[in-house]
Structure 1
């Protein structure tokens, strides 16, 4: 077994340089995401993963207290690695830096896989439920713009043209208040819940400070933002983390109902074009339901994302027990999540 060393670092630029350069990586392993999670009570620790003095990975571990004297470690969409086969020795390296209070560690290797290629174990790591959406749709931005357009569902192509006809504009936008209005209205309508506003503001501020990007895309009609999203990007990929859409309820001069100008379609399409033009090669739509059912409230969101021509993939989670209490901790975490879901939406099922 190759022995790896975890070298702590407090240099955000040096750390993000490594995260950005690795072939198996994610913006959620970037410095900015850890700073945003600090707002929620997590304590981020960043390490360069070294073998014979050379950086072969980067690891952002978020530590969260669960009870007096107990905590767990979490690597969101991580670790970032040169080779997925290094995971076994990463486990040993984490054990050497873990605190006695750390009960378990959860990782989410950022290597997209088709459903039939999800192993139950990766060395000492055992399959577990990830915190981030495991199921998602990823679209390659390598084809030309004409090829991307041709790969859209016919209805999406029609809606893109309809939005253009009605004068919908979409692109990067610095109006956080407009995004926040769309986002919060969507969460209230769908009973999704949200983190405190400071979480998103921190990620937006920090995301562009050390080598990655955090940005907003809004689709507007007659000046009003009707759809939009929050993106976190690093390396070759951009990730659509949060967003939504609202109905245009402004009065018309003659009192008639406003036409559907297809702002959500314009948002997605122009977000893809923006990412491609800025050199990104992968667009992660970030989350579709685990079980496809016509009565699942997020099914419409899934169909919208599917129609943009991407590939359905999984980003599975894996955990490693650091204490005999790990199994009990996992059950408590699941119970808390079920209770939170039931309180917000009247069901213990996860949204995605």
Structure 2
């Protein structure tokens, strides 16, 4: 029977957690510092044990909503894709998830739990009192050669990459440039304005990400420039262990005919492959990503509340956020 035991962060704990093959950047100390700062949340680290043996670790963050303690691993809106467990191959994820329930609701005294674990499947969620929604992600296997990766893209995508090159679009790898967050966020606002919306997070979220993850060397920041040297598109791509993640990308609508977005992704894929990264994760399953030759991976987003009232509050808060976003867009004069 598996159990969770909360541990305090230490150099020993971080080193132990880094030995698991299913580790993600979202389990690391720099990333947790970023999320804790952005969400005013408290990191929760726990060992997963089977008797006297440690068979894995759990990662989450404690926050409060409506005066109630909530354990997110992660929560929606945290701009963090998956968290959950890192486990030894012989450990059952289903058993670890079962052990998480008393840990969250009894030991931590939480009223609500959410978890999105890259290794969990819908078949492992039954019988635990969890509600879940399908939140697939699109990934690219970077192990084939560059010619094979390029050939796996849709023909229109390949043409767009060639068009960008003929239009003198160049890609710049950004290091220690305090203006990058401003460029990215200004372009992000333009992207959202196309749908009469505003971004779901502030520029401070971007600055916090760069401040915490940048020094670790696990963050690729890219700019696309046109033939006149103007910044027309940007991308934010954390990477760690075997995976690079597409955290965010943006471009100005007036320059999208130059096709900088496809060129940014292609540059990032080759950059990651050259450094031994074997997977590119778009952290979402939108249909437009299929043109890059992606494969869809199912990742359920599961949640459980102590009472139906708490579950209803969570759903109402999510709906209210969407309404607020549209209202703010109207008040600030965003245009489609």
Q: Fold-level match, TM-score > 0.5?
A: yes
Q: Give CA deviations for 1:155-199 in whole Å, capped at 9, x if unaligned.
A: 111111111122211253234232232223223333152323222
On the 8 A contact 1:120/1:127 being kept in 2, the answer is: no
Higher helix share: 2
Equivalent residue, structure 1, for 2:330: none
Q: Which among 260, 279, 302 is matched to residue 257 of structure 2?
A: 260
SS in 2 for 1:330: helix
1:124 is aligned to 2:122: no
Equivalent residue, structure 2, for 1:239: 245
Q: Which residues of structure 2 form unaligned runs of 5+?
A: 75-81, 328-336
Please state how far the C-alpha of 1:262 moved relative to its aligned partner.
Answer: 1.2
Instruction: Call closer, same or farther: CA 1:94–1:337 in 2, change over 3 Å.
Output: closer
Equivalent residue, structure 1, for 2:226: 221
Equivalent residue, structure 2, for 1:202: 208
2 CA distance for matches of 1:209 and 1:51? 36
Equivalent residue, structure 2, for 1:89: 99
Q: What is the RMSD computed on CA atoms of the aligned residues?
A: 2.7
1 CA distance for matches of 2:5 and 2:193? 42
On the 8 A contact 2:140/2:279 being kept in 1, the answer is: yes
Normalised by the length of structure 2, the TM-score is 0.81
Q: Which residues of structure 1 form unaligned runs of 5+?
A: 250-258, 290-301, 347-352
Q: Which among 264, 269, 272 is matched to residue 269 of structure 2?
A: 272
SS in 1 for 2:205: helix
On the 8 A contact 1:64/1:72 being kept in 2, the answer is: yes
1 CA distance for matches of 2:236 and 2:149? 22
Please state how far the C-alpha of 1:60 moved relative to its aligned partner.
Answer: 2.2
1:49 is aligned to 2:44: no
Structure 1 outlier segments of 4+, above 6 Å: none
Instruction: Call closer, same or farther: CA 1:339–1:96 in 2, change over 3 Å.
Output: closer
Equivalent residue, structure 1, for 2:114: 106
Equivalent residue, structure 2, for 1:341: 322
Instruction: Call closer, same or farther: CA 1:124–1:199 in 2, change over 3 Å.
Output: same
1 CA distance for matches of 2:290 and 2:128? 34
Normalised by the length of structure 1, the TM-score is 0.78
Equivalent residue, structure 1, for 2:26: 28
Equivalent residue, structure 2, for 1:294: none
Q: Give CA deviations for 1:22-56 in whole Å, capped at 9, x if unaligned.
A: 23343223233332232223222223434456543
On the 8 A contact 1:88/1:123 being kept in 2, the answer is: no
Which one is further off, 230-239 or 24-33? 24-33
Q: Where do 1:41-190 residues align within 5 Å?
A: 41-51=40-50, 54-68=53-67, 70-76=68-74, 77-82=82-87, 83=91, 84-85=93-94, 86-95=96-105, 97-99=107-109, 102-111=110-119, 118-119=122-123, 121-122=125-126, 124=128, 126-129=130-133, 134-174=135-175, 175=177, 176=180, 177-190=182-195
